[in-house]
Chain A
Amino acid sequence: MTGATASVKPGESGAVRRSRPLGPRLRNMSRSFLLTLLATCAVAAFLSPLLQSASLALKSRDQITQLGAPLWPADPQTYDYNGRTLDVYVVTINGEDEQLALVTPGRTSSVFVDPANPDAGTITWQGSWRALPRAWVFSPHLENFGQVWDLLEFPRLLFNTVVIAVVGMIGVLLSCTLVAYGFARFRFPGRNVMFLLLLSTIFLPTIVTTIPTYAVWRALGVIGNTNPAIAWAPLLVPAFFANAYDVFLMRQYFMTLPRELDEAAAMDGAGPFRTLISVIIPQSWPVIIAVGIFHFVYSWNNFFEPLIYLTTQPELQPLAVGLQRFNGIHSREPSLLQAGTLMTLVVPVVVYILFQRVFTRGIVITGVER
């Protein structure tokens, strides 16, 4: 790439040359600063709903119903004075806001005391105390989370969610590894057609298969069954029969592995299954971990299937469905609802933060290489 960089013309004056490295660098710095500032604002706005949720989850019920309450979790400030608990207001005296505790309310004038300096005696203020704003003090109500823990039966729903996610993950890993290995390493008639068919299942609307599947599970006595292992079958059994996304991801990975090792194993008398176990899988941990995590998060967040198959059995529902039910029952308690919401999302978010590179790579493979 000759000539792509700006060349310095001969004969330029020293003054120009000295300013040259500085000018562009300054412009680059300011551009970089502006872009980074813009991105920071955009991302802050993008994530602000999470912050509002967190703030609401820590508020008391009183704060939500009160006008003029701050955005952050807080309680109205009080002050203990001579054995009485007094409310603290923001009072403007001589143009300055002061936080004073109300001792004797009156229609046209009230008596206050300064909590910071109670020995100075009382202060009489002219005006209607009812118009005064309350003073607020920061106080996160962490007990909301404890309340939701009980109300939502969180431990039980957590257990349901984890079991469904982990068993499904095992099923997906077993089945998709086998199927991807079959597509990646063996030639058989109709292979390309079948692979296309596999991928085309992505385009089939879910609802098209829902009802007959639902009807069969119902006829088998699975829906409403009190045995969790049976009631969860509609969520778990399909996981053991592979799916397009994960097979595609694994196949793409297997195809990049050199065949020489397979062939060497075959020379040593290893069968195809042996080769899979001792040659392919040891080289494929990155993709196996990616598929496992993808399914775990997918299952944790899945809503529609658990909703239709477990409607009548709250005690077997995973968190996503339990949270929606909670929304229906406690919609007048927004703090508790947001606390429950945060408790539901914390596990997938932590899993993502721990494995964010795995997520990125997996999504790139399915998205770009198709």
Chain B
Amino acid sequence: MSGLTIAQRTRLAHRPRLRKLKPLERREALWGLLFISPWLVGFVLFTFLPTVATLIFSFTNLNLSSSAPFAFVGLKNYQDLLADPQVWASLRVTFTFAALWLPVTMIVPFMVAVMLNSPSLRGASLFRVLIFLPYVVPFVAGVLIWQNTLLPDTGWLNEGLRAIGIQNPPDWLNDPTWIYPGLVLVGLWGIGGAVIINLAGLRNVPTELYDAAKIDGGGWWAAMRHVTLPLMSPVIFYSLTLGVVEVMQYFLVPFVLKNGTGEPGGTTYFLNLYIYKNFFTFQRMSYGATLAWLLFVVTLLLTLALFASARRWVYYAGERE
């Protein structure tokens, strides 16, 4: 790679040719818009209009299970939302789960990538292929496989725990205390993508920097702290941001496992499950739409906060766009 970013090179390649000729510039702009038009149309039809419609629904009484005439009800749904204990319970469930899920799904792929990147490891590419493999297993299939592995008596996880001397291993999927660790285990099967991204990030760290750290007398941890982590911060930032967006929407795994009941003890009654049930079970469209916007706003605020914090801790080698 030369010193210029791709964006800079395109700009340089373009500028002198276009500045002189106005009509040519317009022709180019029209062609460009024509080529991106599939996305523009799709964005309006499948993203923008539905999002606005959901917002409008939230100010109505649209409810397929009631015969009340359609009407705008102002902020009533939002008042209901604030007074609804299930909203707060579901938010708490979502955040509690995220507090376990995010650190584990950030740290484990990083550590696996560090291991795969080690020159001491033999057969690293075979390990990489095997670790990525469950990533392509269909979601429902993965859940059903893990349901079997996490069975309290015959599941191999508990058989293994008993073999190493743990007398009463937990009933992972039916015990409110153990359900989140159980769900995180199921989720860890999909770390393949994150491992690959972390691995690519690690390989981009210039080896001179490690040599320099070694000359300075630093050990493994110093190199990790002062070389690896700062240079990996863009990758960590990317994984964290997408991880937040993903975990805020989390509900499908327990939805398949528990048939959307929120069991055990309401611990899997995630916010997105509550929205789904309002839409497809209770048919309270307007209230579901209000909850969907709540989810949207919470996600947006979290991602904005992350982007705002990025200035402080994300290190970009070279110029930022």
- Listed in ascending order, the chain A residues whose CB lies under 8 Å from chain B are 1, 3-4, 28, 31-32, 35-36, 38-39, 43, 45-53, 56, 71, 174-175, 178-179, 181-189, 191, 194, 197-198, 201-215, 238, 240-242, 247, 252, 255-256, 259, 272, 297, 300-301, 303-304, 308, 319-321, 323-324, 327-328, 334, 337-338, 341-342, 344-345, 348-349, 351-353, 356, 359-360, 363-364, 367-368, 370
Contacts and interface: CB of A to CB of B under 8 A. Distances in A.
A241 B289 contact: no
A308 B255 CA distance: 13
B127 to A, nearest CB: 5
Contacts of A198: 39, 43
A212 B57 contact: yes
A245 B113 CA distance: 23
B200 A186 contact: no
Given A4-B211, A203-B245, A209 B51 contact: yes
Contact of B32 (A31, A186, A214, A356): A186
A337 B144 contact: yes
Given A207-B292, A240-B38, A359-B136, 11 more contacts: A36-B123, A52-B155, A181-B35, A182-B35, A186-B31, A211-B279, A211-B292, A303-B252, A352-B132, A359-B132, A368-B235
B13 A367 contact: no
Nearest to B56: A212
Interface in B106-144: 115, 118, 120-123, 127-142, 144
Contacts, number: 276
Given A47-B130, A324-B140, A344-B138, A52 B42 contact: no
Interface string B133-163: 1111111111011101100000110011000
Nearest to A255: B6
A140 to B, nearest CB: 17
Contacts of B43: 197-198, 201, 241
**Which 4 interchain pairs have the tightest Cβ spacing?**
A241-B42, A186-B32, A182-B35, A367-B197
B32 A179 contact: no
5 contacts: A53-B144, A53-B145, A204-B47, A207-B292, A213-B50
A353 B14 CA distance: 41
Interface string B29-50: 1111111101111110111011
Contact of B289 (A50, A53, A194, A211): A211
A360 B125 CA distance: 11
A367 B238 contact: yes
A301 B193 CA distance: 15
Contacts of B249: 205-207
Contacts of A353: 129, 133
A1 B279 contact: no
Given A50-B145, A189-B29, A247-B39, A208 B296 contact: yes
B72 interface: no
Contacts of B196: 359-360, 363-364, 367
A211 B156 contact: no
B53 interface: yes
Contacts of A212: 49-50, 53-54, 57
Contacts of A338: 144-145, 148
Interface in B269-290: 272, 275-276, 279-280, 285, 288-289
B71 interface: no
A208 B51 contact: yes
A47 B46 contact: no
B181 interface: no
A368 B140 contact: no
Contact of A303 (B120, B140, B292): B140
A359 to B, nearest CB: 7
B144 A31 contact: no
A48 B280 CA distance: 36
Contact of A211 (B57, B235, B242): B57
B299 interface: yes
B127 A348 contact: no
B310 interface: no
B50 A238 contact: no
Contacts of A247: 39
B35 A349 contact: no
B201 interface: yes
Contact of A320 (B28, B128, B140, B155): B140
Interface string B57-98: 100000000000000000000000000000000000000000
A356 B115 contact: no
A273 B136 CA distance: 35
B148 A56 contact: yes
A49 B197 contact: no
A3 B211 CA distance: 10
Interface string B282-321: 0001001100110110011001000000000000000000
Nearest to B321: A192
B248 to A, nearest CB: 7
Contacts of B193: 363, 367
B25 A187 contact: yes
B226 interface: no
